[in-house]
Amino acid sequence: GFSFSGDLESSIQKRVVTDVASLGEFTRTAVEQAARGDGIAIVCAHRAALAGDIAELLRIDARVHARKLSGEMRAMSTKMGRKFTELGAHVTGTATMQDWRDRVKSGTTPGCYPVALAIHFAALGLSARDAFVVHHYGVISTILGAALRLMRISHVDTQSLLFQLTADVDTPYATAAAATLDDMAGFAPLADILAAVHVK
């Protein structure tokens, strides 16, 4: 995740993000989008992994991939997902992760990060909420880490934003847990435009 900016780079270039306040707004939008998209996928994939429903996991993975509108977001999700899958299969040695790794390597499925995360957490007996929290934190920390490299901001500012943005994870988790896969959606047209600018 360190090598990605979550489209912050083009947001700074186009002066959408210029200071701590606008960085906070940008990051809040990103994490809200993630909760309504990837967050729902995590909960659904965790349930499918616990049930051993491979067909459903493949369906969820395809849906997540299809909802990544920009090339960078698709690349970020699949690159992180594949690396996480390889690492999880090697470190834990769980049969579920090894099976998922083989499917990703063969090209059967894109191998998006939220699905890999959910499968891994389910295989280790960790909850869907735990997986959601890790993803939630990861979205925020990826953007704020990029901000430290891309703009004049201090680590004190980014840590303050991290604290604020992670203060309530239970509300978005409850929303994601009550949703179905068909509820996965997001509406942030400026973010999509900035992503397209960055790809171009």
Taking only the tens place, the pLDDT of each residue in 99-115 is 999 999 999 999 999 99
Query: Which of 93 and 105 is assigned the larger pLDDT?
Result: 105
Give this prediction's pTM: 0.91
How many CB atoms within 10 Å of residue 156?
8
pLDDT per residue as tens digits for the range 44-74: 999 999 999 999 999 999 999 999 887 778 8
Which residues 6+ apart lie within 8 Å of 74 measured at CB? 65, 68, 110
97 or 191, higher pLDDT: 97
Cα 32 to Cα 172: distance, rounded to the nearest angstrom: 8
Which DSSP symbol is given to 125?
T
Say yes or no to pLDDT of 8 above 90. no
pLDDT at residue 5 greater than cutoff 80: no
For residue 9, the model assigns a pLDDT of 84
**pLDDT value of residue 3:** 58
115-146 pLDDT tens trace = 999 999 999 999 999 999 999 999 999 999 99
Interatomic CA distance for residues 122 and 49, integer angstroms: 6
Please give the pLDDT value at position 4: 63
DSSP state letters, 3-34: T--TTHHHHHHTTS--SHHHHHHHHHHHHHHH
- Position 168 scores a pLDDT of 92
19-33 pLDDT tens trace: 999 999 999 999 999
Helix 189-199 to helix 20-36 angle, to the nearest 10 degrees? 100
